[in-house]
Chains A and B, each alone.
Chain A
Amino acid sequence: MTTLTLGKALNAGLRRALAADEKVVLMGEDIGTLGGVFRITDGLKAEFGAHRVVDTPLSEAGILGTAVGLAYRGFRPVVEIQFDGFIYPAFDQIVAQVAKLHYRSRGNVRMPLTIRVPFGGGIGAAEHHSESPEAYFAHTAGLRVIACSNPADAYVMIQQAIASDDPVLFFEPKRRYHVKGEVDESASLADAKPMGVASVVAAGTDVTLVTYGALVQTARDAASAAAEEGVSIEVIDLRSLAPVDYATVEASVRRTGRLVITHEAGQQGGVGAELAASVTERCFEFLEAAPVRVTGHDIPYPPAKLERHHLPDLDRILDGVDRVLGRPNSLSGVEA
């Protein structure tokens, strides 16, 4: 075991993927000589060369479109989108090409791309640097969407994403890049938990609290705080947003009878909406209360000095827990 930050764990995972398969190429803006604005690719260009770790022109559509061509040629491109809010120029290539080419070619052309996206807020950044665009991609057939929340998962999941023959949107919780954790760098990828499987990160009996990315830690903190009041929360790190591991979520909800979902992204059409609907369809008779969503507001990401009024935090999550438990909460007496 080694103690690594989440960022360093990603770096180590990328290094191992580059070493394991010569068709793996990293592409992005500032990822080579600089090592990426978050230093996730630090040192990799020097180690593997400019044809394996490629500094590209400032063109997100260009990066994704050329990655498609490289995949046609048998490469396994790993693309970095510098910030969540910069992904939209590449949206057409991702949605119309990357996601659909396996289908459009009747399985003849594989698109084993990994699209790395630092996502989410909480770092006091300028506009377009704190977004959570994951629902657009979870909605798109042909893509897999995953999010890591800790160094150990980051190390394994980035390698699993690269090894996948399907295109993967890989969301990295940028405000947790500096969080440290134990990473087993000698572990075999074959024995690791598949990236599509969720993790129960805190066991509990009263409420199931589902989240992913940066909010996993916040949810765990909320569970600890609730425990002091005698409320037992089971926290699930979803890890995969498309497809969702409903087996794990359902098993938990059938025991607790109550579901709270929290994410930084807005509520409307979000991952939580899909989760609430599906769990209601599948576990209706087990539910003691309607599922509750604690999400970012349906607003453009606000200025840094307002983001604490946008991002779900420990107290807002616990307010949602109170609501699902029918305890006094901010909406008591109000039709939600």
Chain B
Amino acid sequence: MTPSDRDATGLLTKPDQFVQLVGPTGDRRHDAEYDRWVADIDLAALGRLYRDMAIVRRLDAEATALQRQGELGLWPPLAGQEAAQIGSARALRDDDFVFTSYREHAVAWCRGVGPAELLTVWRGSAASGWNPFEHGMAVPQIIIGAQALHATGYAMGLAWEGSDAASVAYFGDGATSEGDVNEALIFAASFDAPVVFFCQNNQWAISEPVGLQSKQPLARRADGFGMPGIRVDGNDVLAVLAATRVALDRARRGGGPTFIEAVTYRVGPHTTADDPKRYRTEDELAEWGARDPLTRVLALLGASGVDTAALEGEVADEAARAAAELRAAVTTIPDPEPMSVFDHVYAEPNSHLARQRDHYGRYLAMFDETDAAASAADGGAR
């Protein structure tokens, strides 16, 4: 790759190009600009990135199985996007704050969100699973692209406070068509907000191909908004880590926002309710299968002298334990108390809702009395 392949913002100018440090076969590709950002990633650190990816892949498969068995209402699998999520989230500091969509399970893993915390919302047991301020991660966002504005506002606040922390907005290729994302890019640029826009271009927005959202590489849009854009191989964990570190460093130094397009692929369905066979081909799956984010890291480690069979076995055992823990945690999440349906609508007392709550409580109590009366009629036999 030569400097002339890049435009003034560092963006690779040809649509099929991106920053890549590890090729699909595990070949280490040197890049003068990005190598230095991952100079600290030795074989042990690379092994840890592999471990992260392997475990989240296993947890994701377990969650899909749990949905099939009726333990979860719905599950949006992340399979295929492990490198994009682990590479970016492992670049973060604890005091950074992420605003994600609903598929960023690997980001949640990196932020220390536990299995029950992650899955309770998908089981339908609670509105959300974790305290955002304990993990530096907002509640998941289903409204496409809305969180890009939240990340931008949060970053504006960081800048006004003089903090050197940053925020990250995770969203997909489909979200780039939403007004909210475009407005977020405008606000972030105008206020030099320390925010990273991390777009996982996984090629599909349910059934709609990325070509319907954009006629050119998404990262090129950044220039129009007045910020640098980086197009990175989203299946190359090392390149994603490097690109995110570049963007975070710029944010921390007052350089403002960066747009990253991580080119990846959603291997599974949009959610467990989707059937991707209706809109994409086996050939395409095979093509992307050859670019798998995990196999290339194993290949690189193997070529560097690491005993990958041992590593794989060790990580597989750990992943299996994590999956068992996930299953146990999910199936023992207690069902919520009926009257909790009224909790947390308001932060302060509210006369209208208090009355409605009171009335519903009386209604429910009627059944208790019926049960008690029936029980008494049975002579307490029931």
Contact = CB atoms under 8 A, between A and B. Distances in A.
Given A61-B180, A66-B187, A106 B133 contact: no
A65 B149 contact: yes
A164 B347 CA distance: 9
Interface in A54-80: 56-57, 59, 61-62, 64-75
A106 B347 CA distance: 10
A72 B138 contact: yes
B165 to A, nearest CB: 10
Contacts of A305: none
A109 B139 contact: yes
A110 interface: yes
A70 B154 contact: yes
A93 interface: yes
Given A75-B157, A106-B128, A68 B347 contact: no
Given A72-B132, A141-B345, A57 B152 contact: no
B328 interface: no
Contacts of A66: 149-150, 152-153, 156, 184, 187
A97 B143 contact: yes
A65 B146 contact: yes
Contacts of B160: 25, 51
B339 interface: no
Nearest to B99: A69
A286 B128 CA distance: 45
Interface in B164-212: 167, 179-180, 183-184, 186-187, 190
A21 interface: no
Given A65-B180, A166-B348, A59 B127 contact: no
Contact of B186 (A62, A102, A166): A62
Interface residues of A, number: 47
A104 B345 contact: no
Contacts of A69: 99, 149-157, 167
A330 to B, nearest CB: 34
Contact of A243 (B97, B155, B351): B351
Interface string B330-362: 000000000000011111101111000000000
Given A96-B146, A104-B128, A104-B139, A73 B348 contact: no
A60 B157 CA distance: 18
B126 interface: yes
Most buried by A among B138, B149, B160: B149
Contacts of A105: 127-128, 131-132, 139, 344
A74 B183 contact: no
A244 interface: yes
Most buried by A among B126, B150, B158, B179: B150
B143 A92 contact: yes
Nearest to A64: B149
A141 B345 CA distance: 7
B224 to A, nearest CB: 15
Contacts of B149: 61-62, 64-66, 68-69, 93
A274 B99 CA distance: 37
A196 B157 CA distance: 30
A107 interface: yes
Contacts of B155: 69
Contacts of B184: 62, 65-66
A88 interface: no
B186 A57 contact: yes
Contacts of A97: 143, 146, 150
A166 B353 CA distance: 14
A164 B344 contact: no
A107 B130 CA distance: 11
Given A57-B186, A59-B186, A69-B99, A243 B350 contact: yes
A101 interface: yes
Contact of A73 (B128, B131, B157, B183): B157
Interface in A161-216: 164-166, 196
Closest 4 CB pairs of A and B: A69-B153, A65-B149, A66-B153, A73-B157
Given A96-B143, A104-B139, A112-B347, 8 more contacts: A61-B149, A62-B183, A66-B152, A69-B156, A70-B154, A103-B343, A106-B128, A166-B348
6 contacts: A25-B160, A62-B180, A102-B346, A105-B127, A105-B344, A109-B139
